[in-house]
Structure 1
Amino acid sequence: MHRSQRMALVGAMAITAALALAPTASAAGTGTTRVLIATRPNPALSTAPVALYGRVKPTSSTTAPTGQVCFYDGTSTTTLGCGTLAAQANGTMQTHIKVSLAKGTHALVAKYSGDSHYAANQSKVLLLTVS
């Protein structure tokens, strides 16, 4: 083998090893979180957007959760929208979106995607009346 062939072979092995060690998108953590949902205002008017807030707090770790929170209306599989978590002054990770909702009562849920440290989780249902 020529020196240039050996270098190419060694380089290929280094790349293969680096790829094997990289975490995959499907890697799910086992840590637990508490997911909260809040709205502003509540009750709301159909003529103005409503801000939906999703907060994710670890229950037993100081590692900050990463990822997204998506918001759902009732048992629908269609999302109202998603936001990426960002740190807040109190150490909580939070995201928010603004949506327009039709008149009526809405059963809102925030679902956290999970990350390499924490499993996916969701909030309890929050009822929002829009008039």
Structure 2
Amino acid sequence: MKLGDIVFTRTGASTGKTFIYRTADSIVYYAGFLIKMSVREDIDSEFVFQNTLTTSFNRFVKVMSQRSGQPGINSKEYARFKLYIPKLKEQVLVGNMLLLIDNLIAANEYNLKNALNIRGRFNLHLLM
């Protein structure tokens, strides 16, 4: 995979989940149950990826993957998702802002988990 590539799960319970390859990631490989998309140079891949985290995309996945048996979406079906693309400068601003918010959420979830762990240990000591 190369920087900015996005992979989509195509089958099973995780249908519709996505991953973007960023500089912070190690070398990664993708398997046959994934669909890889390389974004054109005139489109910001972070903007596209952030759109896969929206309610609109989740509704699209739900509708497209409802079949008999195991849920799934192929590459042609994913290509039917309507994505409204502003000018590149705005794409970069929106994509970076949403990435920053994602990072803040992740940091706060980590801090909350640690705080709850400390509280749990404190409560345990109170009971002894």
User: Which gives a bigger RCO, structure 1 or 2 (Cα 8 Å, sep 6+)?
Assistant: 1
- Normalized per residue, the structure richer in helix is 2
Q: Give the TM-score normalised by structure 2.
A: 0.24
- Normalized per residue, the structure richer in strand is 1
- Tell me which structure has the larger Cα radius of gyration: 1
Q: Give the TM-score normalised by structure 1.
A: 0.24
